[in-house]
Amino acid sequence: MKKDAADLLSLHKLNPEQQQLLSAWATRYIWWKTPTEALRYPERIIAQVMDIGDYNDGQEMLRAFGEDTPRHILRHAEAGMFSPRSWAYWHYRLGLAAPGQVPPLPRRRVS
């Protein structure tokens, strides 16, 4: 996530169910880090669920975290976090874009 974005999940105390879900997803969706390392970045775990997660995990994420969390994650996404398909799906699903009006994916900027 971008450094200047507010850390939405660290501002709120996570309930035991949210913690349990994040722990399970950390192992499944952030396989290149240890679960302890991955849990330092809960928004990154949720972004991975949004990008490569299965339908059931996506539904569980929405039920446990609501729609504000994934909206925040989309608005503060970094380049490469989402595939074009996932980017479009979540913008439509969360009411952030009308048909044909999905914003472009974030791009890396070289100065």
Amino acid at 77: A
Distance CA(6)–CA(2), nearest Å, equals: 9
Question: Is residue 4 predicted with pLDDT exceeding 70?
Answer: no
Secondary structure (3-state) at 66: coil
- 58-76 confidence digits (pLDDT tens): 999 999 999 999 999 999 9
Distance CA(22)–CA(29), nearest Å, equals: 10
Please name the residues in contact with 41: beta carbons below 8 A apart, sequence gap of 6 or more: 1
Q: Where are the domains of the chain?
A: 16-93
Looking at the chain, the whole-number percentage of residues with pLDDT higher than 70 is 89
> What are the Cα distances from residue 111, in Å, to 36, 79, 86, 108?
34, 15, 28, 10
- pTM for the complete prediction? 0.86
- 12-36 confidence digits (pLDDT tens): 588 999 999 999 999 999 999 999 9
Amino acid at 81: M
